């Protein structure tokens, strides 16, 4: 079962149109919300005149935070759950983020909410609101925010809301010993996650159970529960948060939004079910973005291409409210050296507020920026020394002989980073062989003679995944032999209902068809953390393994007493429990479960029923890794980039389900392609979004995505019993670096690519200079 | 002023009074409670709302219900017949052509037209005919495989039943 | 996402439609395929009080051959053009254009009349209408008017259509023998409208000299327009690679091209020249292959 490419269980309801996404929640008496949003990036909200809106047919009410104290609550300071403090941070001072504020700090910030009998009437209500604002000077870029005397994003707070420093080795000595010193300013764009499903929340105060039901598109249901319960003064068990089917998350839904809490509060007070669904335009303008990032990099290297040291100044836009302390920057720092040895590091980083929506992780969460930096650095060294970029990498790569390897980084959980159970040279060499690196190098000259500009580029990434603190699982067998696996996380497409069922079926000896996984419902487990940071397979997977193991021990114990044998003689296969060598002596799991309800033997086995709840606490993160190599052709007349060949070699440890793994890579690659060649969120100097719809925000279509070749390297880790690493945030990381390098190489290094995305306009502009 | 519309959806006739501005996608989702068809954008680009109307794949978010008066509409809920999955549904399942599933109903309805018009489509034809459907999760590779697999299934089925 | 309320009218004859237009004047909008109109209404960029749906008027539908002209009803969908065997035989350029507009779902609903009446500066039909000097047939209560394509497109989203008038049909004269044509489009990466779209048809004599070059461009000016400099550079000249290259080099002359957040003016000028060259090279190849517009 483990490692088998089984088609997914969750597919059937999804392909027959019976998924339950938040906007599908339809309840009797339901009303609908629409938000009034600030048209200014920074403004005092002087007045919200509700009169005209209240007169619109179908409008039930207009709320601006003055109605109930709960609407003046704050969102949790840091994003709760998976964000941990880091020893790098030496300063942090973040303003509070209130549900409604009299001072708007970004275009799109909620100012009031209209509730109506239909979504159409709610939109009419919003259109009828007469709001008065006093616009104030705003800063829309981190550069503007850091200029002396820049307007403050928040009164009383510096625009630099957090700062970090980290040092490894002796950076001064590194630069003193350098033959080569290279300086670069590298920039990466801000992105929207662009899940096809936008955000949505529905809430209902269920008088029949005294429960507030909240349906969310969020990735962290327990954080939603905790905050809503806290704001309303309810015990957490009276708030049930459900995230059954979510149409893609990618990090942007991994934060608690004001709307989640506001809708819950309204449902509680209005005593009517209420639903809000974001429009795409609203998504482009008011939902979180990943934030622009810039690196000032100085590299010290020897003339043989070996890296001596790297000095990095890291500027990260965190938007109007920072919910992630310096998580994204810390990820960049901790992923920075990827596969390579950098003996000395000097890093300083700033988290800078701007009058733009709050920053959120977007799949990769700082890793893309790290990969882009390290690979551009190595390519720059190649350029300087005349060495082939592959050779430069080989000279700097961390080898198995160096393992376990500590690069001086400390992960966000406080544990020093250590690479082990990885073979970087294998990945690099395999990728080179697979793409036929030498062959393309040989062909390049002939192609150039024919007037064709073909180039090769390498991107190498690491991916820390499986971050704690932990996840849990409950496994239960019922009298019909159905096995239920409860987890404290929800899926946004990752296939949990299948992969976790595979783990359970495998560990128990049950039929795969008999196992059903349930997640995304805070009723199921007391504690859960969430889906993000590529953590579910490791945490929930191993929790399912442990819980199943405990259930299995109950099974063997009880069965041995009933069937009259020793525990070692018990065989469980295809949901049947039998005695080795006497297979006619058997019971089904269901029959055993039925017996276990009243059987007194259970007194030593934790009580009635064949069930167990276990948690898995990882020691620290696991490291997936991979190499991408791209071969591209650049049309110098039109700036078009054609990908001739693209290879992904990756190691995610043991793949639970190769179909799911390849799907993650294929989808992640498309996102990486978007990051590399065109996706970007653009604001003007007044903080207005210029890429406010799909008319201006590029997203790859089927005709944009080339075929790629995926090679799996399976190097199971000893860090967890399943031997799995992570894969969720692996594929978007390297295309930016690989494609930039390939495009530069195609133009024989006559242009310098230092920013993402590499748009056609950037290529045409660069071509005009050569 | 409301208008009465009569629209047959998945073989069942419905008659309802609607505001002219009610979009067909909302008529399907909210009035008829067929929530399989999804809304993913507001500029008629993502295709998550695709249904078949009078035999053609259309974006139901860009049609008013009043325009669909008298029409026959098929949604994802109407693909499976007598409890049997449509070959396209089977193919998406077997080829892992969906992850979050949100774009999938619209994608499959677009594919029904694709395979009607191009029963043995080339790779280029498939990509071009999927221009109106955006997926964020899969990177399209398995969707393309699903289209190819579905095409084979349909051709085999039609050959077996003597249709072509 | 949710349009403002409006009254809906669905006339079954042209006269009914004209009467409604007369009655409601500025408060009414005509709707054909709705795939430019409805998105604008959903974003509340326009909020007409009355919508006049032209979808039930038979007089606006259908494609027919009238002498040497292909006459396309204004309410003909792009798919109907794309899939028409008649058009493929009489003027295949139209099928080529239709097949690259937007996406398949939009092509099932969007209409030629709607596209031309909207005059989006990046739409596909306008370049072809201009290149082929199509005639736009309009009707009002006072009668019928024929407007030539290059006079039709006047400004951003502005045409020669007058109040109280409905675009009924578009007449394309068939192309003479020894004419090859093509539509080359570079889709904008986000919107998939034409970043640059070149619709071109070149007629040569037996010696391979260009008798007439018709080149219409979209995406690079406030509306679709003849690339006059190209047409003049080709006229009377041997239609050979060197001449093609020189002609393409002046493709952007006389065009009012601007910059935006995606592309600089110079990018667009280069792309305009590149795609005109592409179109002319394609035509050159088709002439060699005997792939003519008139069989």
- A80: confidence class by pLDDT, cuts 50, 70, 90: very low
Locate the chain C residue with the closest alpha carbon to B126. Answer: C104
Are C149 and C189 part of one and the same domain?
A: no
Cβ contacts from A onto C, under 8 A: 63
Over residues C63-106, the pLDDT tens digits come to: 999 999 999 999 999 999 999 999 999 999 999 999 999 999 99
The count of structural domains within chain B is 2
Query: With bands split at pLDDT 50, 70 and 90, how would you rate the model's confidence at A83?
Result: very low
Contact B59 C106 (CB under 8 A): yes
Boundary residue ending a domain (A616, A651, A686): A616
Report how many domains make up chain A: 2
Question: For B124-144, what is the mean pLDDT?
Answer: 98
Q: Which of A298, A675, A632 is nearest to A458 (CA)?
A: A632
- Give the pLDDT mean for C37-48: 97
| Residues in A touching B141 (Cβ below 8 Å) | 666, 705, 707-708
Last residue of a domain, one of A578, A594, A616: A616
Residues in A closer than 8 angstroms to B42, CB to CB, are 279-281, 693
Mean pLDDT of chain A: 96
The token pair at A91 is 């300063």
Mean pLDDT of A535-550: 96
Question: Any idea which residue has 């005709």 for tokens?
Answer: A703
Question: Number of folded domains in chain C?
Answer: 3
Burial of B122 (0-12, 13-18, 19+ CB in 10 A): exposed
B33: domain range? 3-78
End-of-domain residue from the set B15, B45, B78: B78
The answer to whether residue A416 is domain-embedded is yes
Comparing A118-127, A599-608, B127-136, which segment has the lowest mean pLDDT?
Answer: A599-608
Q: Residue A82 has what pLDDT?
A: 42
> What does the pLDDT average to over A623-640?
97
CATH number at residue C93: 3.30.465.10
Nearest CA in chain A to B97: A663
- Residues of A in CB contact (< 8 Å) with C are 119-120, 122-124, 127, 279-281, 637-639, 678, 682, 690-691, 694-699, 701, 759-761, 764-765, 768
Last residue of a domain, one of A616, A646, A664: A616
pLDDT at A81: 39
pLDDT at A324 over 90: no
CATH number at residue A605: 3.30.365.10
Which residue in the set B1, B44, B67 is minimally distant from C7, CB to CB? Answer: B1
pLDDT at A87: 87
Strand C194-204 to C210-218 pairing: antiparallel
Distance, in Å, from the CA atom of C87 to the CA atom of C72, rounded to the nearest integer, reads: 9
A533 lies in which domain range?
A: 471-616
Please give, rounded to a whole number of angstroms, the shortest distance from the CA of B151 to a CA of chain C.
18
Domain ends where: B78, B101, B120?
A: B78
Closest CA to A556 of A594, A592, A585, A583: A592
pLDDT digit string (tens) for A263-298?
999 999 999 999 999 999 999 999 999 999 999 999
- The whole domain housing C217 covers 179-289
Between chains, do A696 and C271 touch, taking CB under 8 Å as contact?
no
Give the residue on C whose Cα is nearest the Cα of A118. C2
The 10s digit of each residue's pLDDT in A450-462 is 999 999 999 999 9
A94 assigned to some structural domain: no
Give the domain CATH number at B67: 3.10.20.30
Mean pLDDT across A630-652 = 97
Q: Decide: pTM greater than 0.95.
A: yes
In a shared domain, residues A437 and A518? no
Q: What pLDDT shows up at residue B163?
A: 67
Q: Does A226 fall in a domain?
A: no
Report the range of poorest mean pLDDT among A31-45, A86-100, A142-156, A651-665: A86-100
Given pLDDT bands bounded at 50, 70 and 90, which one contains residue A86? confident
- Whether residues C191 and C162 share a domain: the answer is no
Please indicate, yes or no, whether residues C65 and C169 belong to a single structural domain of this protein: yes
pLDDT classification of A377: cutoffs 50, 70, 90:
very high
Mean pLDDT of the region A400-406: 97
Neighbours of chain B (3+ CB pairs under 8 A): A, C
Same domain, A652 and A553: no
Tell if the CB–CB gap between A764 and C267 is shorter than 8 Å: yes
Domain boundary among B78, B95, B130: B78
Residue A425, pLDDT score: 98
Is the Cβ pair C271, A123 closer than 8 Å?
no
Q: Please give the mean pLDDT across all residues of chain B.
A: 97
Domain annotation covers residue A40: no
Q: Same structural domain for residues A605 and A635?
A: no
Report pLDDT for A84: 58
Residues A687 and A589 in one domain: no
**pLDDT of res. A519:** 96
Same structural domain for residues A394 and A346? Answer: yes
**A581 & A705 share domain:** no
Chain A hits for B45, CB-CB cut-off 8 Å, are 694-695
- Cβ-nearest to B102 among A197, A668, A695: A197
- Does any CB of chain A come closer than 8 Å to the CB of residue C2? yes
Q: CB B21 to CB C104 under 8 A?
A: no
Q: Are residues A700 and A636 in the same domain?
A: yes
Q: Which residue of A has its CA nearest to C275?
A: A638
Percentages (nearest 5) of helix, strand, coil residues in chain C? 35, 25, 35
- 44-103 in chain B: CB under 8 A from chain A: 45-46, 48, 75-77, 79-80, 85, 89, 92-94, 96, 98-103
Domain with residue C281: its CATH number is: 3.30.390.50
pLDDT over 70 (residue A78)? no
C2, C189, C191 member nearest A119 (Cβ): C2
Query: What is the structure's pLDDT at A314?
Result: 98
**Residue A198 at interface with chain B, using a CB cutoff of 8 Å:** yes
pLDDT in tens, A157-195: 999 999 999 999 999 999 999 999 999 999 999 999 999
Q: Please report the pLDDT score of residue A85 as a whole number.
A: 66
The beta-carbon neighbor of B66 closest among C4, C8, C102 is C8
Same domain, residue pair B51 and B23: yes
The alpha carbon of residue B59 is apart from the nearest alpha carbon of chain A, in Å, by 15
d(CA B97, CA A662): 11
| Chain B residues 123-162 within an 8 A CB cutoff of chain A | 126-128, 130-131, 133-144
Report how far residue B59's alpha carbon sits from residue B57's, in angstroms, rounded to the nearest whole number.
7
C2 part of a folded domain: no
CA distance A79 to A101: 19
Task: Say if residue A404 is exposed, middle or buried (CB neighbours under 10 Å; 0-12, 13-18, 19+).
Answer: exposed
Residue B142 to residue A120, Cβ atoms within 8 A: no
- On whether residue A267 sits in a domain, the answer given is no
In this prediction, residues A635-653 reach a mean pLDDT of 97
Positive or negative torsion for Cα A208, A212, A216, A218: negative
B114 touches chain C (CB under 8 A): yes
Nearest CB to A196: which of B33, B48, B131?
B48
CA distance A117 to chain B (A): 12
H-state helical runs in A615-657: none
Q: Looking at the structure, tell me whether residues C252 and C216 fall in a common domain.
A: yes
In chain B, what residues touch A696 (CB-CB under 8 Å)? none
Is the pLDDT assigned to residue A77 strictly greater than 80?
no
Are B8 and B63 in the same domain? yes
Asked, for residue C295, whether it belongs to a domain, the answer is: no
Tens digits of residue pLDDT in A571-628:
999 999 999 999 899 999 999 999 999 999 899 999 999 999 999 999 999 999 999 9
Nearest to A685 by CA among A354, A250, A202, A293: A354
Nearest to A284 by CA among B40, C42, C197, C41: B40
Measured between beta carbons, which residues in chain B are less than 8 angstroms from residue A700?
Answer: 139-140
Residue of C nearest to B128 (CA): C103
Residue A172 region by backbone torsions, left for phi larger than 0, else alpha for psi between -120 and 50, else beta: alpha
* ipTM greater than 0.95: yes
Kindly give the interhelix angle for B104-117 and B87-94, rounded to the nearest 10 degrees.
Answer: 120
- Residue A112 has what pLDDT? 98
Q: Are residues A568 and A653 in the same domain?
A: no
Residue C68 shares a structural domain with residue C31: no
Question: Do residue C239 and residue C167 come from a single domain?
Answer: no
With a pLDDT cut of 90, the percent of chain A lying above it is: 95
The mean-pLDDT minimum among A124-133, A204-213, A529-538, A591-600 falls in A529-538
List chain C residues with CB under 8 Å of A759: 189, 262
Alpha-carbon distance C266 to A763, whole Å?
12
Residues C191 and C262 in one domain: yes
Tell me what pLDDT residue B164 has.
Answer: 55
Inside any domain, residue C100: yes
Confidence of residue A79 (pLDDT cuts 50, 70, 90): low
Same domain, B121 and B92: yes
B131 and C102 within 8 Å at the Cβ level: the answer is: yes
Both B55 and B91 in one domain: the answer is no
Q: Specify the pLDDT at position A533.
A: 84
């Amino acid at each position: 079962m483990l490692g088998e490419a089984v088609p997914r269980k969750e597919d059937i309801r999804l392909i027959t149109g019976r998924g339950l996404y938040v906007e599908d929640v339809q309840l009797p008496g339901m009303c609908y919300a629409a938000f009034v949003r600030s048209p200014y990036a920074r403004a005092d909200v002087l007045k919200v005149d509700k009169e005209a809106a209240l007169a619109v047919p179908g409008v039930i009410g207009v709320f601006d935070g003055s109605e109930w104290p709960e609407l003046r609550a704050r969102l949790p300071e840091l994003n709760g759950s998976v964000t941990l403090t880091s020893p790098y941070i030496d300063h942090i001072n973040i303003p509070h983020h209130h549900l409604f504020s009299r001072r708007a700090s970004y275009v799109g910030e909620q100012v009031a909410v209209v509730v109506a009998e239909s979504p159409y009437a709610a939109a009419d209500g919003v259109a009828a609101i007469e709001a008065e604002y006093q616009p104030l000077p705003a800063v829309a870029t981190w550069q503007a925010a850091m200029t002396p005397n820049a307007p403050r994003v928040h009164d009383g707070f510096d625009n630099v809301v957090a700062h970090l420093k980290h040092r490894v080795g002796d950076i001064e000595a590194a630069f003193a010993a350098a033959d080569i010193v290279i300086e670069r300013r590298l920039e990466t764009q801000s992105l929207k996650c662009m899940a096809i499903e936008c955000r949505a929340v529905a809430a209902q105060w269920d008088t029949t159970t005294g429960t507030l039901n909240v349906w969310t598109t969020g990735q962290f249901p327990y954080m939603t529960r905790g905050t809503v319960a806290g704001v309303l003064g309810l015990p957490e068990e009276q708030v049930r948060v459900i995230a059954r089917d979510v149409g893609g998350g990618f990090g942007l839904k991994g934060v608690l939004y004001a709307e989640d809490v506001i809708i819950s509060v309204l449902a509680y007070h209005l005593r009517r079910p209420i639903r809000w669904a974001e429009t795409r335009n609203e998504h482009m303008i008011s939902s979180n973005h990943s934030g622009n990032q810039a690196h000032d990099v100085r590299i010290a290297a020897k003339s043989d291409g070996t890296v001596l040291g790297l000095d990095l100044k890291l500027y990260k836009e965190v938007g109007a409210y920072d919910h992630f302390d310096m998580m994204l920057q810390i990820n960049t720092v901790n992923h920075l050296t990827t596969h390579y040895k950098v003996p000395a590091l000097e890093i300083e980083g700033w988290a800078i507020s701007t009058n733009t929506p709050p920053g959120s992780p977007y799949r990769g969460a700082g890793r893309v920026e790290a990969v882009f930096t390290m690979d551009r650095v190595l390519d720059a060294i190649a350029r300087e020394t005349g060495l082939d970029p592959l050779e430069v990498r080989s000279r700097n790569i961390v080898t198995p002989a160096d393992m376990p390897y500590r690069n001086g980084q400390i992960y966000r959980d406080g544990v020093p980073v250590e690479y082990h159970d990885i073979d970087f040279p294998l990945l690099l060499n395999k990728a080179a062989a697979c793409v036929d690196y030498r062959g393309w190098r040989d062909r390049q000259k002939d192609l150039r003679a024919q007037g064709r500009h073909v180039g090769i580029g390498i991107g190498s990434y690491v991916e820390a995944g499986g971050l704690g603190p932990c996840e849990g699982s409950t496994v239960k067998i019922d009298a019909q032999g159905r096995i239920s696996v409860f987890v404290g996380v929800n899926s946004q497409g990752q296939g949990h209902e299948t992969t976790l069922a595979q783990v359970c079926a495998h560990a128990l000896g049950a039929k795969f068809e008999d196992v059903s996984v349930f997640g995304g419902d805070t009723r199921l487990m007391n504690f859960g953390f969430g889906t993000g940071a590529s953590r579910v397979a490791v945490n929930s997977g191993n929790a399912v393994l442990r819980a199943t193991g405990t259930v299995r021990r109950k099974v063997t114990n009880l069965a041995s007493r009933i069937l009259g044998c020793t525990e070692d003689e018990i065989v469980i296969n295809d949901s049947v429990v039998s005695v080795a060598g006497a297979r006619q002596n058997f019971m089904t799991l269901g029959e055993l479960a039925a017996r276990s309800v009243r059987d007194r033997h259970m007194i030593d086995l934790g009580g009635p029923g064949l069930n167990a709840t276990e948690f898995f606490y990882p020691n620290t993160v696991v490291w997936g890794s991979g190499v991408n190599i791209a071969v591209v052709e650049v049309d110098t007349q039109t700036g078009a980039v054609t990908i001739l060949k693209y290879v992904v070699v990756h190691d995610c440890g043991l793949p639970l389900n190769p179909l799911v793994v390849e799907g993650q890579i294929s989808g992640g690659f498309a996102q990486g392609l978007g990051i590399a060649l065109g996706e970007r969120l653009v604001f003007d100097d007044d903080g207005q979004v210029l890429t406010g719809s799909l008319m201006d925000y590029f997203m790859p279509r089927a005709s944009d995505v080339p075929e790629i070749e995926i090679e799996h390297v399976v190097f199971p880790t000893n860090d967890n019993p399943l031997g799995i690493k992570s894969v969720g945030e692996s594929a978007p990381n390297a295309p930016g670096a690989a494609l930039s390098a390939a495009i530069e190489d195609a133009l024989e290094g006559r242009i310098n690519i230092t920013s993402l995305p590499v748009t056609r306009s950037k290529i045409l502009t660069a071509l005009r200079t050569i | 002023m409301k208008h009465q519309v009569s629209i047959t959806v998945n073989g069942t006739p419905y008659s309802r009074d609607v505001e002219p501005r009610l979009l067909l996608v909302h008529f399907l989702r909210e009035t008829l409670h067929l929530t399989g068809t999804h809304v993913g954008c507001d500029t008629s680009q993502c295709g998550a709302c695709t249904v078949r109307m009078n035999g053609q794949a259309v974006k139901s978010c860009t049609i008013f219900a009043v325009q669909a008066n008298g029409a026959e509409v098929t949604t994802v809920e109407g693909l499976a017949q007598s409890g049997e999955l449509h070959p396209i549904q089977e193919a998406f399942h077997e080829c892992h052509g969906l992850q979050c599933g949100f774009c999938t109903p619209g994608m499959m309805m677009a594919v029904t037209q694709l395979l009607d018009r191009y029963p043995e489509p080339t790779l280029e034809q498939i990509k071009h005919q999927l221009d109106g459907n955006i997926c964020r999760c899969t990177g399209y590779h398995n969707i393309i495989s699903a289209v190819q697999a579905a095409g084979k299934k349909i051709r085999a089925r039609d050959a077996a039943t003597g249709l072509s | 996402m949710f349009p403002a309320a409006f009254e809906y009218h669905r006339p079954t004859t042209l006269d009914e439609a004209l009467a409604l237009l007369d009655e409601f004047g500025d408060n009414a909008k005509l709707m054909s395929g709705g795939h430019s109109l409805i998105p604008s209404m959903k974003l509340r960029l326009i909020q007409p009080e009355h919508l006049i749906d032209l979808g039930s008027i038979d007089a606006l539908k259908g494609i027919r051959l009238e002498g040497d002209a292909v006459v396309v009803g204004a309410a003909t969908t792009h798919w109907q053009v794309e899939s028409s065997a008649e058009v493929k035989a009489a003027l295949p350029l139209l099928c080529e254009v239709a097949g690259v507009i937007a996406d398949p779902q939009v092509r099932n609903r969007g209409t030629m009349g709607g596209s031309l009446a909207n005059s989006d500066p990046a739409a596909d039909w306008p370049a072809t209408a201009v290149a082929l000097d199509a005639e736009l047939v309009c009707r009002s209560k006072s009668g019928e008017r024929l407007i030539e394509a290059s006079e039709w497109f006047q400004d951003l989203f502005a045409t020669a259509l007058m109040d109280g008038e409905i675009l009924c049909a578009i007449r394309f004269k068939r192309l003479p023998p020894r004419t090859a044509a093509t539509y080359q489009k570079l889709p904008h990466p986000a919107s998939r409208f034409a970043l640059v779209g070149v619709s071109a048809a070149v007629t040569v004599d037996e010696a391979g000299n260009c008798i007439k070059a018709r080149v219409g461009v979209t995406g690079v000016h406030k509306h679709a327009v003849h690339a006059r400099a190209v047409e003049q550079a080709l006229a009377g000249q041997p239609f050979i690679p060197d001449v093609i290259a020189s002609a393409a080099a002046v493709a952007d002359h006389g065009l009012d091209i601007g910059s935006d957040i995606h592309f600089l003016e110079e990018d667009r000028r280069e792309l305009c020249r590149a795609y005109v060259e592409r179109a002319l090279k394609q035509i050159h190849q088709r002439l060699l292959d005997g792939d003519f517009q008139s069989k």
